[in-house]
Amino acid sequence: MSDTIWVCRQSRAATDDSGDDFDHSLFCKTSDQLDKLANHIGVRKLSDFFDTTDLQFNMSEDELEESWIAENQKWFAPADALPSLEKIVECLRAGEIKGIKEKIRPELLEELEDCLAKVTVADHEKDRFHFSIVM
């Protein structure tokens, strides 16, 4: 089983529409390389917007209540992440990135463009978001 990232919105938490319809597995797998790129280009790391609450809940050996997830999730203002997403997407569109295999770049770009679109909508709707790490 492989981890992935969902773009989740606070207004949809605990609803039937709380998940994501897109697999962002490459984003998850390359997060360290993307953080290095962010440092190199002088923007905030995308991992700053990760929320591991769902993963912690599913991996816990303790019997946690469902409410534990809602009580422990971290939410972020989309405007804080958008400059990073925009610059990283711009770099991926421009060509090869050190540390990211060229053969996966187009698919990674597609995943990050999907994230950018969803975070942009959350911003326009004055919602909060996070990149949820799920298994």
- Each residue of 75-100: pLDDT tens digit? 999 999 999 999 999 999 999 898 99
Q: Please check whether residue 130 is in contact with residue 124, taking contact to mean a CB–CB distance below 8 angstroms.
A: no
37-71 burial, b if ≥16 CB within 10 A, otherwise e? bbeeeebbbbeebbbbbbeebeeeeeeeeeeebee
pTM of the shown model: 0.91
- The pLDDT assigned to 74 comes to 94
Among residues 2, 8, 3, the alpha carbon closest in space to that of 131 is found at 8
- The pLDDT assigned to 12 comes to 92
Q: What is the mean pLDDT of residues 34-48?
A: 97
- Each residue of 47-58: pLDDT tens digit? 999 999 877 766
Angle made by CA atoms 80, 81, 83, in degrees to the nearest 5: 90
Encoded tokens for 27: 């984003």
